[in-house]
Amino acid sequence: MGKLRRVAGVVDRIEGGIVVVVIRDPDDPESTREVYVPREKIKRVELQEGDRVTVLLV
């Protein structure tokens, strides 16, 4: 298993039970990536588009 990295991102949209978070790619700072996170994995109760969140990447 790879090293865990904590990365800041912004909620782009919420589709059903999935939260789409846009992050700056840690391997290529010039680009961004979308990360799909199950809603129950995020601690914040009230989550809306534009909110800042932190995700763990493997």
Give the total number of structural domains in the chain.
1
The secondary structure of the chain as a DSSP string is ----EEEEEEEEEEETTEEEEEEE-SS-TTSEEEEEEEGGG---SS--TT-EEEEEE-
Mean pLDDT of 37-50: 88
- What's the CATH code of the domain at 26? 2.40.50
* Model pLDDT, residue 13: 96
| Structure tokens belonging to residue 45 | 């109760």
Domain with 45 in it: 5-57
Decide if pLDDT at 2 tops 60. Answer: yes
Decide if pLDDT at 35 tops 90. Answer: yes
